[in-house]
Amino acid sequence: MNGAAPRRAPDTSLRLVGISSYPRGGSGVRSAFSLPTGYVDALRAVGAVPIVLPTGERDPGRLLEPLAALVVSGGGDVDPKVYGGGDHDMVYSVNEERDAFELGLTRAALADTRVPLLCICRGLQVLNVVCGGTLHLHLPDAVGAAVEHRLPERTPTAHAIRVDPDSRLAAILGTTTCEVVSWHHQAIERLGAGLRAVAWADDGVIEAVEHVTHPWCIAVQWHPEMQLDDPVQQRLFAALVGS
């Protein structure tokens, strides 16, 4: 005997949930991938084990195999060139590596119907683009400022939404009206194929969609991971993990 400890069998009871990361930032030895802690805390609170998925994987679909669910996170703008959009001075934090990774990961998740998929803020926009939809480049240009979807200096803000009572989202949240925390300046313009709008802000902006054929694919334009003390919002994560 060589004294080596026996290998443990994999713990198949773990609910591994992948979360796409923000793009690499910094430089040199300080370069790093990052993710706001709210995503991790929200998933841990419902018994999941969060796994951060860094951008840059050439075959993102293979990452789905060990996962019980997937979250496509928020962040900067999708490059408008991906969906035939134009230029706008307010477009920010475009990252080619992240776009390629998350677009590929989302396509793979739609094809792998075993994996429940929750898309948040930018994630909703990625899903819509994958499905052939387009985005408003800057919401105030399209719908005005009756509803603040983010405050100046890119600060989160709260506003009301209404939810389709016949949607899966309404059944999960347990309500057809609630207050959400938003932090975005873009949103769905043309809805992608296979998607159904199921929630709206008072200005008509689409705030959530569901995929009509995937067994569990919900996307929200707001940030439920910023509402960790709100039981209504945290039901989204519980449903994702328990689905």
> Does 223 qualify as catalytic in the annotation?
yes
Query: Which candidate, 12, 114, 104, places its Cα nearest to that of 53?
Result: 104
Options 121, 149, 185, 207, the catalytic residue: 121
Options 102, 207, 210, 225, the catalytic residue: 225
> Does 121 qualify as catalytic in the annotation?
yes
> Does 119 qualify as catalytic in the annotation?
no
Options 136, 184, 211, 223, the catalytic residue: 223
Catalytic residues: 121, 223, 225
